[in-house]
Amino acid sequence: MSDLDFGSTVRGFFAGQKIFQRYELKRILGRGGMGVVWLAHDGKLDTEVALKFLPEVVVLDPKAMDELKREAKRNLQITHPNIVRIYDFVDDPSSAAIAMEFVDGQTLSKLGLEQPGGVFSPEKLLPWIEQLAQALGYAHEKAKIVHRDLKPANLMIAGDGDLKVTDFGIARSIADSVTRVSASAGSSGSPPYMSPQQLDGLTPKVPDDIYAVGATLYELITGKPPFHSGGMAAMINQIQNVVPPPMAERRTELGNDGPPIPPAWEETVAACLAKDPANRPQSMREVVDRLHGEAPSPAIAAATSPSAKPAEYPTTTRTGLYAAIAAAVLVLSGLGYLSTPIARSSAISCVRSSSLIWAIDF
| Residues 68 and 205 placed together within one structural domain of the fold | no
* Cβ contacts of 275 within 8 Å, gap of 6 or more: 196, 240, 241, 243, 310, 311, 313
| Residues 48 and 112 placed together within one structural domain of the fold | no
| Residues 217 and 250 placed together within one structural domain of the fold | yes
| Residues 153 and 294 placed together within one structural domain of the fold | yes
| Residues 37 and 68 placed together within one structural domain of the fold | yes
Is 211 within the bounds of a domain?
yes
pLDDT of amino acid 11: 59
CA–CA gap between residue 329 and residue 201 (Å, rounded)? 10
Is residue 149 within 8 A of residue 329, CB to CB? The reply is no
pLDDT of amino acid 242: 96
- Which sequence positions are flagged as catalytic? 149
Mean pLDDT, consecutive 10-residue stretches, the chain (362 aa), reads 41 86 89 74 93 78 80 82 91 87 90 93 97 96 90 92 85 58 48 93 94 98 93 91 96 93 98 98 97 69 47 38 39 38 34 33 34
pLDDT of amino acid 230: 83
Is 353 within the bounds of a domain?
yes
pLDDT of amino acid 122: 97
Can you give the CATH number for the domain in which 89 is found?
Answer: 3.30.200.20
| Residues 74 and 144 placed together within one structural domain of the fold | no
The count of domains in the chain is: 2
In this structure, the dihedral spanned by the alpha carbons of residues 15, 16, 17 and 18, taken in order and rounded to 10 degrees, is 130
| Residues 132 and 207 placed together within one structural domain of the fold | yes
Is 319 within the bounds of a domain?
yes
Is 5 within the bounds of a domain?
no
Is 8 within the bounds of a domain?
no
| Residues 80 and 204 placed together within one structural domain of the fold | no
| Residues 145 and 158 placed together within one structural domain of the fold | yes
pLDDT of amino acid 185: 43
Give the mean pLDDT of the chain: 77
| Residues 23 and 122 placed together within one structural domain of the fold | no
Can you give the CATH number for the domain in which 131 is found?
Answer: 1.10.510.10
| Residues 117 and 82 placed together within one structural domain of the fold | no
Is 179 within the bounds of a domain?
no
CA–CA gap between residue 71 and residue 207 (Å, rounded)? 20
Is 155 within the bounds of a domain?
yes
Phi-psi region of 200 (alpha: psi -120 to 50; beta: other; left: phi over 0): alpha
Supply the range of the domain harboring residue 206. Answer: 105-165+190-329
Is 270 within the bounds of a domain?
yes
| Residues 257 and 346 placed together within one structural domain of the fold | no
HEC profile of 301-343? HHHCCCCCCCCCCCHHHCCCCHHHHHHHHCCCCCEEEECCCCC
